[in-house]
Amino acid sequence: MTLSAEQINQLLAEQDLLISAPDYDGQLEGLAYNSQKVTENSLLFIKGRFKAAYLADALERGLSALVVPTDFDLSTDLPVWVVKDVPAAMSILAMAFYDYPQDQLKLIGITGTKGKTSTTYMAYEMLKLATNDHVALSSTLEVITGNEPENHYRAHLTTPESLDLFAWMREAVNNGMQAMVMEVSSQAYKMERVFGLRFDVGIFLNISPDHVGENEHPTFADYLECKMQLLDHSDQVIINADSDHFVELIERAELDHSRDAIWLYAREDEDGNQADLAYQTVSADLRRSTFAVFENNQQARRLGIAGEYELDIPGDFNQGNAVAAMMATRILGTDSSAMKEALLTVKVPGRMEVLTSKTHGTVYVDYAHNYASIAALLNFAKANSHEGQVQIVVGATGNKGVSRRPGIGKAVNQAADVVYLTADDPQFEDPAVIADEIQLELTNPKLKIIREMDRVTAITKAIAAAGPTDVTVLAGKGMDEYQKINGVDTPYENDLAIAQRLLENA
């Protein structure tokens, strides 16, 4: 895989990204955005603060050329392309360097404030059955480019940097994969990680206030705008008609799509709805549910997926995620038998993991970390825990997502009986101060508040206090095996392992 200077000039000019090009006619054999990843004859993209020491390190590793922003001020004799937008340039050049692997994959992109990961795994499992295990995945939790252990990677971002994404797509194509299911975050569009990428199907699950604050989105309007860009860059779109801001979503979709390329789904209600597909709960308990899907018009009948389905993941909110996954995979050719089998077997690591104990009731482990996800989880637990109490162990991340903290408190205040406020990746902040911000919203006089900043101790106390009919929710960390403390990924047992250990020894 190589890129010539002529190709780079042409690609950047076509996207109106090029400000100036070097007098250079060489071939480049590697791409990098981190000086430590530079290899012989590489092109390095300068994305942020860049020190002279980094440049010196890259030169020793074989750096041959640079793509830089207009404010790059280090002196160098290397060939330099100056561009208007380095991340966008990186995406355009990366897809060319890896020979446009996305053109050889059917792509499903999934966005939403909550439910992206669960929906991604549901669609992935459906497509695995439909393609005989020839499907790749890119999620918050992991990236899978093939069926061997060496093709499984730990994810560091919900949507990878473009250079990593297209490298993984190329690996997936080389491994014979036919499709890829991706989580697409708002930051992916804001930071141009998917610039120039088009999806066969884009799913918009929901939108609620989140990711507003320093280093994220300055306003909710910016957050919504970034998320809606998935609609602009998908051939067919699936939208949850129950979502907040649905009017803005459907208006945006209609700008670039005919009605037969827009698919709507919603929960069935007494007044009926205008969705193509509707669904309703047939039966549910704390471990699984059965739901029915109805086709309301000719558009929906093109899919042919009406019927009853059993979902082996608790939470009625997951039924909507399942319907979205079913619609997307059906558009790509999956049949309903594969859907039914997948929904019976799908497991989402760290999402709605269920443990039960005769003495300490039911424990849920979930990555829920904002108002929407925590409220949905607690309301489900409350509705299905008729005799016992609902308690939650929760905190909030430090140095990002500050806007989540009042929402977390609001959700807890509405539906929990007991809350253990604790640490959750505090980074450079004091977890007790973060807990103070959550606690400002805890005004329910019936709510019992316990503060314990050591997360292992908080979980231990919560499970020990739970009775046979109680539900304990461990929110935020899932199966993460580290806590981000003062810039260091500090080893951590993980919530699920802690709960399993405590219940085994109870």
Q: What is the pLDDT of residues 234-250, one digit of tens each?
A: 999 999 999 999 999 99
Give dist(CA 50, CA 34) in Å, integer. 10
Round to whole Å and give the CA distance between 231 and 249: 8
Q: Other C-beta atoms within 10 Å of 386: how many?
A: 7
Quote the number of domains for the chain: 3
Residue 91 and residue 8 share a domain: yes
As annotated, the binding site includes 35, 112-118, 158-159, 185, 193
Q: Where is the domain boundary, 308, 325, 345?
A: 345
Contact 290, 300 (CB under 8 A): no
Mean pLDDT of the chain: 94
SS3 182: strand
Residue 137 and residue 79 in one domain = no
Tokens of 391: 């308690």
What stretches of 303-374 adopt beta strand conformation (E)? 307-311, 353-357, 361-366
Are residue 171 and residue 259 in the same domain, yes or no? yes
- Give tens-digit pLDDT for 390-421: 999 999 999 887 888 999 999 999 999 999 99
* Per-residue confidence band for 279, with pLDDT thresholds at 50, 70 and 90: very high
164 and 312 inside one domain:
yes
What is the pTM (predicted TM-score) of this model? 0.87
Contact 250, 263 (CB under 8 A): no
Same domain for 179 and 296, yes or no, is: yes
Looking at residue 181, its amino acid is V
431 and 404 share one domain = yes
Instruction: Give the domain range for residue 361.
Output: 353-504
Q: Which CATH number does the domain housing residue 312 bear?
A: 3.40.1190.10
Q: What pLDDT is attached to residue 506?
A: 75
Q: What is the CATH number of the domain that holds 43?
A: 3.40.1390.10
Binding residues for ATP: 112-118
The CATH number that applies at residue 495 is 3.90.190.20
> What pLDDT score was predicted for residue 217?
75
Question: Looking at 45, 64, 97, which one is the last position of a domain?
Answer: 97
Q: Do residues 244 and 259 both lie within one domain?
A: yes
Residues 81-85, mean pLDDT to the nearest whole number:
97
Indicate the pLDDT class of residue 292, thresholds 50, 70 and 90.
very high
Q: Does one domain contain both 357 and 319?
A: no
Same domain, 238 and 312: yes
Place of tokens 């039911």: 362
